[in-house]
Structure 1
Amino acid sequence: MHKFSTDTYKSLCLSDSEITIWQITVPTLAFKHDYLMGGILALASMHIATTCEPSETALLYHETGLQYYNRSLTPFRNAIDSITPHNCNAVFAHSIVMIAISVASPRLTATKDECASITENIVILFELLQGVKKILQVSKSWIKLELFTQGPYWKSTPTELDPDTEAALTHLAALNDQVMIGIYSEQHRINKNVIAHLRHCYAKFAHSADPAPVLAWLAAVDKDFVDSDKDFVDSLRCRQPFSLLILMYWGVLLKELDGHRWWARDSGRALVSELFEALRSGDPRWEGALGWVQRKMGL
């Protein structure tokens, strides 16, 4: 708890207005909600693991973090099933903590030579966030924590992209038009919305390099994206190749958080590398899209 309240909390703040919330309010809430306590202790343990020497000590802290996290899952799912004014703030805070843990965990586990799939972790996170989001939409009037509501992401800023990224996302959208036809027409519609939201997040990040645009796509907070998110998550769970290609483009954006948040360090590269190996021998029409990713990531 000391590590979280003196250091780790900073990596969750999107603006100065959130400092007191993450440093004091959320830990206080955690004493009343076991899953939130497990979440912040898990994240703090993983944070310690990134700075520990020797490696055996780092692995010990990481294993401890995973144990805290795993113990939090069942009570968290139970809380989602029975949201109330009493627990909605803890559910909201824990959902943000989960994002950081899920992004960081596979990279840390890989140091132990385990077969850790960051793609699988992201899909599981997607599924959990859909349940959280739909319930919080109903109970948003109860939520008192002003998290994820301030900062440049929410301001009206230009949405221009650099020519290279603009061309890449335009090509991805055109590829969706070309490939996802016929029996895939419904998935085409879903992908179109997802790609449009991803472009919006890229543009926002270009004007302010904070985590909000990256996490916004993952959490699907855009109101126009709500009807599509569950079906997109289903397609990821089934490892639909084009959905994985879209996820890989998000991985390129995730890489931009390197140096900004410890829990995102190298995770974008890990996700993209994993997906690149899975997709590289697929549809030859994807060569241009994969080539852009390969060039951006130096694969």
Structure 2
Amino acid sequence: MSLHDVQSTPGLNLLDLELLHNYTTSTANTLHTDPAMKTLWKINVPQLGFQYDFVMRGILALSALHLARYRPEKKELYNSQAMLQHQIGLRQATNALTEINEENCTGVYIFSALTLFFTVATPRKPGDFLLVGDNSIADWLALVKGTSFIVETSPKILFNGSLGPMFSAGRRRYELREKLLAEEAPEDSPLAELHQLINRSTVDRQDVTIYLAAIDSLRKSFVTYPGSGQGPTFEPADVFIWVFEGNHSFLELLRQRTQESLCIFSYFCVSLRRLDSCWWMEGWATHLIARIYHLLDEEHRLWIRWPIEEIGWIPS
């Protein structure tokens, strides 16, 4: 090789290589509790990243946030790289979503999952409310909900593809939750008292219907909650099932910060608390319950005593 050849050879992007190495050796192991799913996130997802640029950018963005957390001396570098990679990937994935097909649906779906992790792992601001902003539902949630139809319209492709084990495990978990829900008496749920309070005191019956539907959906997260008497291991999917299934009517009431919707949201925070040992979720439960408490009047603060005690937050 001549000197000219050496000088004209493109240099390696060592930062990208560092981020990919960190993802495969460390970050991927933090995204699930099941060993098989850890392997899927470590092996199958990066393989999708080599097929779809936006998936690889989602991987690098999440890895950068992970490194920023544990290497504070380079925090600014990693955080800025995380934002850059995610913004580029988001633009590409959004374009792909408008032209979804059998070839790219798997890539778009896993990018939405990476976006969920990226969102909760991003350093919080004091006013962050996770699911909704001041004017609409959160952008990340809109993307996640926008990809939900992929599962409905392309189930064979997803189940037979590289993410097949993920969807098979999700189906088994869904069947377990449905079985436990059928066995649990509604009055035994931690949500039973809140259900009664809203049903008795809320004047607008149309809103009551929305609130009670949200509570019934939230039971899916609580039916595997430790202490429910049911016994199975609690998994991350048990938390986010409520987010994925939440209807726009409830999210709009939450955006308006109605007292009842805030109380329901506080119970969701109890589920989030179960993931507090995960670096990407740490602190969200206490952050949100504090925000909710200060938005409630004195009467409705009494409604959320159980979530406050479960989370272990002390009002100041």
TM-score of the aligned structures, taking structure 1 as reference length: 0.82
Answer yes or no: is 1:172 the counterpart of 2:186: no
- How far, CA to CA, are the matches of 1:140 and 1:87 in structure 2? 13
Structure with larger RCO (C-alpha < 8 A, sep 6+): 1
% same residue: 25
Partner residue, 2:141 = 126
Partner residue, 1:225 = none
Deviation at 1:91, TM superposition (A): 1.5
Is the CA contact 1:30–1:36 (under 8 Å) kept in the aligned structure 2? yes
Is the CA contact 1:14–1:212 (under 8 Å) kept in the aligned structure 2? no
Measured against aligned partners, the alpha-carbon deviations of 1:215-271 in whole angstroms (never above 9, x if no partner) come to 212222xxxxxxx61222333333333223222211121011122x22111122112
Is the CA contact 1:43–1:100 (under 8 Å) kept in the aligned structure 2? yes
Partner residue, 1:223 = none
Letter in 1 for 2:156: S
Partner residue, 2:217 = 197
Residue number among 233, 239, 249 corresponding to 1:231 in the alignment: 249
Answer yes or no: is 1:70 the counterpart of 2:87: yes
- How far, CA to CA, are the matches of 1:49 and 1:116 in structure 2? 22
- How far, CA to CA, are the matches of 1:75 and 1:272 in structure 2? 35
- How far, CA to CA, are the matches of 1:178 and 1:118 in structure 2? 28
> Is the alpha carbon distance of 1:262 and 1:121 closer, same or farther for their aligned partners in structure 2, counting shifts above 3 Å?
farther
Structure 1 or 2: more helix by fraction: 1
Deviation at 1:3, TM superposition (A): 0.9
Partner residue, 1:94 = 111
Deviation at 1:94, TM superposition (A): 1.4
Matches for 1:6-155 after TM superposition, within 5 Å: 6-54=25-73, 57-105=74-122, 108-110=123-125, 115=126, 117-119=128-130, 123-124=137-138, 125-143=140-158, 144=161, 145-146=163-164, 147-150=166-169, 153-154=173-174
- How far, CA to CA, are the matches of 1:9 and 1:229 in structure 2? 30
Matches for 1:253-292 after TM superposition, within 5 Å: 253-259=271-277, 261-279=278-296, 282=297, 284=299, 286-292=300-306
Deviation at 1:59, TM superposition (A): 3.2
Letter in 2 for 1:51: Y
Measured against aligned partners, the alpha-carbon deviations of 1:89-127 in whole angstroms (never above 9, x if no partner) come to 11121121122111121xx245xxxx4514356841332
Letter in 1 for 2:148: K
Deviation at 1:194, TM superposition (A): 1.5
SS of alignment partner, residue 264 of structure 1: coil
> Is the alpha carbon distance of 1:171 and 1:237 closer, same or farther for their aligned partners in structure 2, counting shifts above 3 Å?
same
Measured against aligned partners, the alpha-carbon deviations of 1:21-40 in whole angstroms (never above 9, x if no partner) come to 21122112112322212211
Answer yes or no: is 1:209 the counterpart of 2:234: yes
> Is the alpha carbon distance of 1:96 and 1:58 closer, same or farther for their aligned partners in structure 2, counting shifts above 3 Å?
same
- How far, CA to CA, are the matches of 1:175 and 1:71 in structure 2? 46
Gaps of 5+ in 1: 221-227
Tell me which moved more, 231-240 or 69-78.
231-240
Is the CA contact 1:50–1:58 (under 8 Å) kept in the aligned structure 2? yes
Deviation at 1:148, TM superposition (A): 4.8
Is the CA contact 2:132–2:254 (under 8 Å) kept in the aligned structure 1? no
- How far, CA to CA, are the matches of 1:91 and 1:14 in structure 2? 23
Residue number among 300, 309, 312 corresponding to 1:295 in the alignment: 309
> Is the alpha carbon distance of 1:167 and 1:88 closer, same or farther for their aligned partners in structure 2, counting shifts above 3 Å?
closer
Residue number among 243, 260, 284 corresponding to 2:261 in the alignment: 243
SS of alignment partner, residue 70 of structure 2: coil
SS of alignment partner, residue 254 of structure 2: helix
Letter in 2 for 1:69: H
SS of alignment partner, residue 205 of structure 1: coil
Letter in 1 for 2:199: D
TM-score of the aligned structures, taking structure 2 as reference length: 0.78
> Is the alpha carbon distance of 1:70 and 1:255 closer, same or farther for their aligned partners in structure 2, counting shifts above 3 Å?
same
- Compare CA radii of gyration and give the structure with the larger one: 2
> Is the alpha carbon distance of 1:216 and 1:148 closer, same or farther for their aligned partners in structure 2, counting shifts above 3 Å?
farther
Is the CA contact 1:103–1:121 (under 8 Å) kept in the aligned structure 2? no
Letter in 2 for 1:293: P
> Is the alpha carbon distance of 1:271 and 1:135 closer, same or farther for their aligned partners in structure 2, counting shifts above 3 Å?
same
- How far, CA to CA, are the matches of 1:245 and 1:209 in structure 2? 23
Letter in 2 for 1:67: L
| Number of residue pairs aligned between Structure 1 and Structure 2 | 277
**Cα-Cα RMSD:** 2.7
Is the CA contact 2:269–2:307 (under 8 Å) kept in the aligned structure 1? no
Answer yes or no: is 1:4 the counterpart of 2:4: no
- How far, CA to CA, are the matches of 2:266 and 2:131 in structure 1? 13
